[in-house]
Every structure is written in structure tokens, then in C-alpha cells.
Structure 1
């Protein structure tokens, strides 16, 4: 499989750049909470940091925190709501001649690109590398991405979200993404995450034959 990302067509606005002033303020608040949380996690360890600590560092209320995240571990999820919200549309809008697996692969590559543009991306990755026990908890918080993938696959194929094929493809794609990120965490720090994602999807396309 080729590189997962492609140049955007003119007028195709990245999810992170969409929305007006209200959306930009919400994005800024979310990023401030993530930056505060990740800094505290790196300084004190995730176990020692509470939601109250994060809120104090970001100068917001606990109520505000829970408007954005369900738990403190969720701040480590690298993709934001606008990216997830655009996932189904991007799958549906993929070239008709492109295979479904290739479309999902490319869309997840775009999701990585958006995540890597966030100011906390590298520090989030460091926290997860240093505390691998958090990876499974972050994976649970990726349920919304899996749901968005299932929605897009169902709409593209004319099926239902609860169809076993749709559910299995969405779940397998998210698992493949998680494995790629885990491999990247253990690899050379200068390695390209896209290379790990490409390799993981190539194995999937080849029927999961051993390397």
C-alpha cells in the first residue's frame, strides 16, 4: 500500500480549521486542558495527578473539564471531536474506485496527520510510551472513532452499522491503528508513524500472513 495521506483538494478544509469563533474557543480550551494534563503527567506520573490538579493548572472548573473529557486518561487520546466527526464523510467521499480497506487506511492516516499537528502530540506519545498500562484505557476512549468508522463504512456500502462485516472492519481498523502506534512507541524516536500504519494495513490486506 502507498502512503496513507494525499494532498488536499482546494476548498477541502481540514477538520481542525473548520468552525467559527465559538469552535476555536472550544478547541483552545480543550488544548489548554491537554497541555496542563500532559505536563503534570510527565512531572508527577499519571497516577498522582487528579482532575482537580489539571483544572487548577488550566484555570478552569471541573465542570468544564468534563464537558471535554470523560476521564483524565482521555486527555491522551490524540484525535479531537472535529476529526472524529468528519470521519464518516471522508470515507463516503473517498474515490469510488478505491477499495474499502484502502479508504479506511487513508482516512486513518489523515486522522494521524491531524493529531500530529496538535501541540501536545509528542508529549502525549511520551506519556503513553512511559506508561504503557494507559494504552488500553486510551483505546477504550477510541470507541467514538470506531463508531464513526462504522458509520462511514455502512453508508459507503449501503449496509447497517450493526452489520457484522461493518462492525468487524471498523473494530479491526482501530485495532490496527492502535498496534501501529504501539510499534511506533517502541521504535526509533525518529521513525515515521505512517510507516508503521502502512505496514500494519499491508499485513491486514495480505490476510495477516506472518512477516
Structure 2
């Protein structure tokens, strides 16, 4: 199996503390992005089973050794978007004002992540890939589960609760479910503002305790 790794896939990108380190980190991000884009496009073109790590490296113009500095498997490159979003959400939850309640903190973190998500062509390509090759969906579910665990840990840290406490896990699960519900209801042709509105609506329902919706008056009249 094509799997080898010298750095943890869970480690967030280190912060730059000098011009030279900043340049190195930008180059690393560019390489990672190139590998991710090449993997997604090759999966779309050839199908997941026909693509090798060598194919991805050739398309991205890097060596296999470089590939394994970033990813353990070819699927990890395809689902790197989820990995990056996980780090963004964890950092956002940690960085929100300390007096902000956890649910609004997660809401604002996801809200702030949406514009870059919508602007990323790789995210749209990956969506097309999942529709074309549904056999990849279990891998997506695995990524979602890891994202939920990471967000729950960030909420636990924020609240001072143990990582296995129910509250952090419930909040992370409900918040990410609200996000996914908004994305499923979203028409990509309507732009980022439309998705932001759906995210806000979903979190508003959570914050209100998920009250039962009022039935339309005409529907009630018809039952009279």
C-alpha cells in the first residue's frame, strides 16, 4: 500500500516568526495545495482506483518523498480540505473572546470560514468527485468524525470540561450538523451570502432550542 509518513497529519501548520520562515511556510502551503488539486482532478478524470501516488506527484511536479512529507495516502490528499477546515475551526473556537458562550463562538467561527470555503475551487471539485464516486463517502464520514472530535476537544478546552464530557461532544455534533444541513440546502449558484444566511438560520434554531415550526395557516384551515 502506498502509505508512508514523516510528519503527523494532525499537526496544524506552524506559525511563521520571521520573513524566511514565512516564505518557507508559504511554499509548503503551495506544495500542499498543488498536491491536493492534482489528486482531486486525477480522481475525477481516471477514477479513484486508477490513480497512484506517482500520478499525483507527476501532475504536481514533486517527488514521492515530498508527497509523503504531507500525506500518508492518496485519499488523504483528496480530503485535505477537511483537514485544513478542521484546523481552522479549532483555532477559531480557541481564539473567540473568552466571555462568548460556546455555541455563538462555534457559530461565528463557521460563519467566518464560509467565504473562503465558497471561493475555493477545490472544494467544488471535491463535491463533484463525491457525487461521481459515492464509494468515497465513507472516507468523508471518517473525516467528519475526526472534525467533530477535534471541535469537541476545543470546546472542552474553552469550557474547562473533560474532553469526554457530554456537553462539548453534543455542542460540536449539533453545530457541525447545523453547518452540514445549511450546505445541503444551499444552491451554489446563489453565492456565499446565501450560504451564510442558511448557516445563521440553522444556528438560530439551535440557539432557540429547536422550537417546532408553526404550520401554515392555510394548512390548518384545510384540516378544520
**TM-score normalized by the length of structure 1:** 0.72
1:158 aligns with 2:165: no
**TM-score normalized by the length of structure 2:** 0.68
- Residue number in structure 2 paired with 1:190: 190
Distance in 2 of aligned mates of 1:27 and 1:169: 31
- Which of 67, 76, 81 lines up with 2:79 in the alignment? 76
3-state secondary structure, aligned to 1:64: helix
Offset at residue 153 of structure 1 (A): 1.1
Offset at residue 29 of structure 1 (A): 0.8
- Encode CA deviations 1:58-78: one digit per residue, 9 max, x unaligned: 132334333323433332342
Residues 120 and 88 from structure 1, CA distance in 2 versus in 1: closer, same or farther, beyond 3 angstroms?
closer
- Residue number in structure 2 paired with 1:170: 172
Residues 142 and 79 from structure 1, CA distance in 2 versus in 1: closer, same or farther, beyond 3 angstroms?
same
Count of residue pairs the alignment pairs up: 193
Distance in 2 of aligned mates of 1:135 and 1:195: 27
- Residue number in structure 2 paired with 1:124: 126
Determine which structure has the larger helix proportion and give its number: 2
Greater RCO, 1 or 2 (C-alpha within 8 Å, sep 6+)? 1
- Residue number in structure 1 paired with 2:106: 104
- Which of 39, 44, 47 lines up with 1:45 in the alignment? 47
Distance in 2 of aligned mates of 1:166 and 1:156: 9
Unaligned runs of 5+ in 2: 1-11, 17-21, 214-224
Residues 173 and 64 from structure 1, CA distance in 2 versus in 1: closer, same or farther, beyond 3 angstroms?
farther
CA-based RMSD of the aligned residues comes to 3.1
